[in-house]
């Protein structure tokens, strides 16, 4: 393996949560007083960074903690609507068999992440660092590095958003961007990740 420690994002990387997110977004917008999203605006959102999306939706920053808490609770009540992407079970098993240490860093809370992964996958993950703020993943990456006793050069973060790439850079670790999540692949390529992965089955060969 090229990397001793492999850190996965959850939403949009391991779990197919973007359809669910879109299905609840406008109800949450009405509840917290930010702008609704029309279907034709989704593509533009997928090509924008997190701060730009918040500006487009006119989300008051002081409301973010309340919105995030609400979204986490809503998601917990609807996890049965959010499947893992096909191939996740085999992927995690293959990486573990090859001796990699696996971790998950997520903005969601750990109970949601564990439930979504299921017992077999949870057993394959050595470190969880969950509840990251929208711009707080770099801190979580550093915490996982310390917990795993891994040098930054021995780790890679795999995610689906621009902020995942930015956080990995801030933490001094390599990053891989996947094409099947929240952000459009063009927006991810523009950030020059170390790897771009277009299909789940490409992950193991790319890291070997």
What CATH number has the domain bearing residue 164?
3.40.50.1000
Q: Look at residue 131 in the predicted model and tell me its pLDDT.
A: 92
Residues 107 and 196 in one domain: yes
> CB-based contacts of 171: which residues, under 8 Å, 6+ apart?
138, 141, 142, 145, 152, 157
| Nearest alpha carbon to residue 15 among 192, 184, 204, 182 | 182
Q: Look at residue 121 in the predicted model and tell me its pLDDT.
A: 98
Residues 88 and 143 in one domain: yes
Residues 32 and 100 in one domain: no
Q: Look at residue 104 in the predicted model and tell me its pLDDT.
A: 98
Helices 64-77 + 18-32 axis angle, to 10: 130
Residues 198 and 119 in one domain: yes
Q: Look at residue 49 in the predicted model and tell me its pLDDT.
A: 82
Residues 12 and 103 in one domain: yes
* pTM to 2 decimal places: 0.94
Q: Look at residue 135 in the predicted model and tell me its pLDDT.
A: 82
Count structural domains, the chain.
2
The boundaries of the domain holding residue 105 are 5-16+83-207
Residues 123 and 87 in one domain: yes
Q: State which residues of the chain have pLDDT below 70.
A: none
Domain boundary among 66, 81, 96: 81
pLDDT tens string 176-197: 999 999 999 999 999 999 999 9
Q: Look at residue 147 in the predicted model and tell me its pLDDT.
A: 97
Q: Look at residue 134 in the predicted model and tell me its pLDDT.
A: 78
Residues 101 and 38 in one domain: no
Residues 122 and 188 in one domain: yes
């Amino acid at each position: 393996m090229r990397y001793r420690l492999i850190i996965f994002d959850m939403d949009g990387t391991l779990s197919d949560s973007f359809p669910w997110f879109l299905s609840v977004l406008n109800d949450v917008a009405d509840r917290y007083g930010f702008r609704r999203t029309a279907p034709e605006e989704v593509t533009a959102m997928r090509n924008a960074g997190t701060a730009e999306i918040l500006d487009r939706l006119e989300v008051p920053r002081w409301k973010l903690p309340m919105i995030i808490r609400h979204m986490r609770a809503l998601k917990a009540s609807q996890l049965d609507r959010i499947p893992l992407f096909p191939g996740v079970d085999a992927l995690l098993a293959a990486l573990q068999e090859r001796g990699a240490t696996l971790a998950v860093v997520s903005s969601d809370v750990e109970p949601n992440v564990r439930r979504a992964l299921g017992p077999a996958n949870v057993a394959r993950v050595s470190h969880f660092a969950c509840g990251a703020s929208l711009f707080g993943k770099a801190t979580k990456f550093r915490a996982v590095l310390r917990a795993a006793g891994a040098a930054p050069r021995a780790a890679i973060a795999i995610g689906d958003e621009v902020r995942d790439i930015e956080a990995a850079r801030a933490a001094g670790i390599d990053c891989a961007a996947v094409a099947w999540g929240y952000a459009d692949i063009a927006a991810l390529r523009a950030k020059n990740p170390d790897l771009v992965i277009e299909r789940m089955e490409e992950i193991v060969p790319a890291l070997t």
